[in-house]
Structure 1
Amino acid sequence: MSAGWVAAAVRARALAGRCPGPDGAREIARGPALGDALRLLAPTPYGRYARTAVDLPGAQRAVTATVLWQLRVLAGWLPPGGARLLVPLAAGFEIANVVALLPAPDDRPGRAPEPYRLGALETAWRSLEGAGTPTELRAALAASPWGDPGADTPWALVTGMRMAAARRTDVAVPAARRWARARAALLAARERFVHGRSLPAPVRHDAARLLGSRASDAASYEDFRDRLPASARWVLADVEEPDTLWRAEARWWRTVHADGTALLREGRPGPGVVVGAVAVLSADAWRVRAALESAARGGRAREAFDALV
């Protein structure tokens, strides 16, 4: 293994080792108010961006901005070409940038947040940010590695990107394949059986590649769940109704954290250790965002938070 991967593995373990972890997140969730939670956040890696936060959306955005900064630092330690491993794993930040370009669902005016600065983790942001309309945005996506989402409604654009992110991760990051397929299952289940939406053709095609045509063509949630391949079925185990998919979402994050921790413990430096660090950093941020929401509600959501983690 090259010296570059050895250095990257050391850096990856160091970044992941600074996470507050489940116990730290529980302390943050106890608040009992957002101000208390932010004071607890200050000495953590999230404190750098959270120090100017004054409300819950700002605090949660500071947490995700911290993860992006950590991934960019990690990308800088990878050997030449190694950053390509992280690009699909950072796709959520580019999706968030696109969401900020789209009209708000309630049509209320508001200032869009500054786009995340992606650097080497960009997929096609420089060609997407200039799109003035959803139609132009669809065309830009179709000409990029994201692919055509199948329609130019805001929902179709974002759903297409989310399924494409799972497809790209499945292809490019073998260590994350199990997570990608389960994420695709969650997305398809939520859109089809909670919101009652038919997936656009390109999204159906990606779903079939990831989950198999039998699951993708299922007419009911029960059939969908039972026809999933083993690589994705685990995430919906014991989730009997689509209205309780939040339990599956929490299971997905707990599994990502557990698998990432196992990858970090691998003795040999290499891509697996880096992917493990991304998993641990991302799962920790998800927990801390939930903890901040619990604190902002004065602890009223603490039972729900405890059920998540």
Structure 2
Amino acid sequence: MSAGWVAGVTRARALRTRCLGAAGIGEVAAAGTLDAALRYLANTPYRHDVGPGATVAGAQRAVSATLLWHLRVLAGWQPATGADAIRALASGFELSNTEHHLRTLAADPRRPGSTPLHPPPYRLGALATAWTRLARTRTPSELRATLAASVWGDPGGDSPAAVATGMRVSAALRLAIAVPDAARWAAARLALLFCREVFVIGRRMPDVTVRRAARLLGPRAIAAGSYADFRQALPTTARWLLDDIDEATDLWRAEARWWDAVERDGRELLRRSHFGPQPAVGAVAVLSVDAWRTRGALELAARGGGPANWPAEVLDASR
């Protein structure tokens, strides 16, 4: 065992203390007002940038930024293999930066007020893969070309929808390959994305993105003409997410189920005694679930809070 893995695993297990936990998340959700929830968070690991007067969106983004900071710290303590795994798990932050940047590029400068206002990009540090180059692009077509020349691959179009979907499919495929312990999460998440795009929204994906999705979900599932056929054709790595969900309109239940599974698997990976990337992967999972639930609790607090007001999917995910 190398000293790098000893340090990396020790840091991964120490980061469990940076979670708010079910009790703390319940306190945030029951706070009654957003300001009260923010005052509670001011004494927690999420205290950075959540001062009084923040909006719900601003506070939620601050929670995400705290998660990203923990992942950057964790990656810095890992050997190369562990850092690569965390980079793959954190790809959503680069994806978010790119989506905001593209919306700005796609806005019509001749229309006053058409350029959307976005928060500053997430500071990715060593977790970035192509963001430095993507941030320098000046047109949607240039951004697409830069993606095509990077690990993200060609999204098959330069519209916001094509880029967002293409990057998500690419991220799932890369995660399944780079982090075997997360392959089940990646396949199930991709199945959920495909269902929403094709069977709920009714939007056709670019061919290159469809071919990429087929590598994880299989050609039979991708070619299915109905949600029922799609679910039946999925590999076991993804089918579990849609068990007993008979209608595509009920996919919100799968969202909560996915996060619940990620937390269970993450805790198990953290408990493993051997040294390697698994504890780091587990730490990322547990931290990410905690941040997701905290963001949801902030939304609930802003609506009036209280356990009685929690939607069923949040209650299910918080057990």
TM-score (structure 1 length as normaliser): 0.96
Match of 1:114 among 89, 111, 120: 120
Residue 169 (structure 1) aligned with residue 175 (structure 2): yes
Q: 1:222 to 1:173 in 2, by over 3 A?
A: same
Q: CA deviation at 1:74?
A: 0.4
* Equivalent-residue separation in structure 2 for 1:34 and 1:258 (angstroms): 29
Q: CA deviation at 1:211?
A: 0.6
Q: CA deviation at 1:179?
A: 0.3
2:311 aligns with 303
Match of 1:218 among 201, 218, 224: 224
Q: CA deviation at 1:108?
A: 4.4
Structure 1 gap segments, 5+ residues each? none
Q: Is the 8 A contact 2:82 2:276 kept in 1?
A: no
1:249 aligns with 255
1:59 aligns with 59
1:292 aligns with 298
**C-alpha deviations, 1:125-166, integer Å up to 9, x for none?**
011111112111110000000000001111000110000000
* Equivalent-residue separation in structure 2 for 1:223 and 1:164 (angstroms): 24
2:92 aligns with 92
Aligned pairs (5 A) from 1:23-42 = 23-42=23-42
**C-alpha deviations, 1:35-88, integer Å up to 9, x for none?**
111112122211123236611011000000001000000011112454212111
Q: CA deviation at 1:24?
A: 1.7
**What amino acid is the match of 1:118?**
L
SS in 2 for 1:258: helix
**What amino acid is the match of 2:268?**
A
C-alpha RMSD of the superposition: 1.7
Match of 1:190 among 183, 192, 196: 196
2:15 aligns with 15
SS in 1 for 2:49: helix
SS in 2 for 1:47: coil
TM-score (structure 2 length as normaliser): 0.93
**Identity, % of aligned pairs?**
55
* Equivalent-residue separation in structure 2 for 1:49 and 1:72 (angstroms): 18
SS in 2 for 1:45: coil
**What amino acid is the match of 1:302?**
W
**What amino acid is the match of 1:41?**
L
Q: 1:166 to 1:41 in 2, by over 3 A?
A: same
* Equivalent-residue separation in structure 2 for 1:216 and 1:131 (angstroms): 32
Residue 126 (structure 1) aligned with residue 132 (structure 2): yes
1:140 aligns with 146
Residue 203 (structure 1) aligned with residue 209 (structure 2): yes
**What amino acid is the match of 2:118?**
A
* Equivalent-residue separation in structure 1 for 2:116 and 2:303 (angstroms): 23
**What amino acid is the match of 2:100?**
A
Q: 1:174 to 1:32 in 2, by over 3 A?
A: same
1:79 aligns with 79
Q: Is the 8 A contact 1:166 1:181 kept in 2?
A: yes
**What amino acid is the match of 1:21?**
G
Q: Is the 8 A contact 1:53 1:59 kept in 2?
A: no
